[in-house]
Amino acid sequence: MDQRTEIASLGEFGLIDHLTKNIDIKNSSSLVGVGDDGAVIDHFGRQTVLSTDLLIEGIHFDLSYTPLKHLGYKSVVVNVSDIYAMNATPTQILLSIGFSNRFSLEALDEFYAGVYAACEAYNVDLVGGDTSSSQKGFIISITAVGEVSPDKYVKRNGAKVNDLICVSGELGGAFLGLTLLEREKKIFSETGAQPDLEGQKVIVGRLLKPEARKDIIEYFSEVEILPSSMIDVSDGLSSDILHICKQSEKGCVLYEDKLPFNEEAKAFAYKLQLDPTACALSGGEDYELLFTVPQQDYEKIKLNPSISIIGYITEHSEGNHIITRGGNKHELVAQGWNHVK
């Protein structure tokens, strides 16, 4: 039988000591970390970027198919992705959790193993947070801190007419992974049949263990690209490009045949009788970077195989459209993930 240690046996401060005993500070900007009333960070003349996310069991994740270690990893990744979306470098996180008595100390150790793995992968320091009991379920709040040169941060509102619209990686995979896991959960609850993930490691991995696009930000620095606007794809491509267009007061044209798909994921979408384009436009949680650049950066962009040019920015009066493979023009509408609904 697996060991189960009741968290109440440690008390709050004993729990904090237990969960944070192996922290290894990596960044010189982290002057004071866990163990005091507050963390102290000095970015030595660079500007500070802050972002926070709240993840709630039953709304943002389902523990019936999400391993706690994966959840810890993903919780960090979704926050550092927001820092990268500002063209900044993540350096620290603050992590607070609320948990019911159904969680043991060993369960929290699993979660924190994922947190520390992500901190290692993205070179960020866990410098503080809080723990609390919860009436039911698991609640996670993470604040990410990053640094950027004063003239290098990128907002959503800088897109210019004729800018190229670009996106990293591939789209729609996380939505397909979610669709598959939800299908298997339903079958299991109704029949008791063991899940059949049909060898779909790519799409399941895209949902349960996403990665933030650190490599794209490093490429921008290497080839001296400064996007005019940028956002990470968390709510679906259509919703996120419309955020850029709204804040930039511009329109856009996307091309369906330019949207990047994983071929395995596309084949699986067809098997489920789903349109891969709809999965890309409306599915969330890809955590790719969606950005605009001036046309003079085209030569630099096309050298990176991880970046696709999918459209261009227009005048606001021209609206927001997608041109299908058949050459038809349709209005682009936001149908992405809305957690409030």
**Phi (first) and psi of residue 6, to 5 degrees:** -70, 130
- Which pLDDT score, from 0 to 100, does residue 225 have? 97
The pTM (predicted TM-score) of the whole model is 0.90
CB-based contacts of 326, cutoff 8 Å, min separation 6: none
Looking at residue 338, its pLDDT comes to 45
Give the pLDDT band of residue 330 (cuts 50, 70, 90): very high
What angle (nearest 5°) sits at the alpha carbon of residue 279, between those of residues 321 and 288? 85
The stretches of 123-262 forming alpha helices (DSSP H) are 173-191, 201-208, 214-223, 237-248
Distance CA 33, CA 45 (A): 20
In order of start, what are the domains of the chain with their CATH numbers?
A: 7-148 (3.30.1330.10), 164-331 (3.90.650.10)
Mean pLDDT score of the chain: 91
Task: Please state, in angstroms and rounded to a whole number, the distance separating the CA atoms of residues 260 and 280.
Answer: 9
Task: Give residue-wise pLDDT tens across range 189-227.
Answer: 899 888 888 889 999 999 999 999 999 999 999 999 999
pLDDT for the residue 304: 97
- In tens, the pLDDT along 269-285 reads 999 999 999 999 998 89
pLDDT of residue 12: 67
Residue 188: exposure state from Cβ atoms within 10 A (0-12, 13-18, ≥19): middle
Average pLDDT over residues 139-166: 94
Cα angle 253, 305, 310 (rounded to 5 degrees) comes to: 5
Distance CA 290, CA 174 (A): 16
Q: Cβ distance 127 to 94 under 8 Å?
A: yes
Q: Could you tell me which residues come within 8 angstroms of residue 341 by beta carbon, excluding any fewer than 6 positions away?
A: none
How confident is the model over 35-48, as pLDDT tens digits? 655 667 777 888 89
Please answer whether residues 228 and 141 qualify as being in contact, where contact means their C-beta atoms are separated by less than 8 angstroms: no
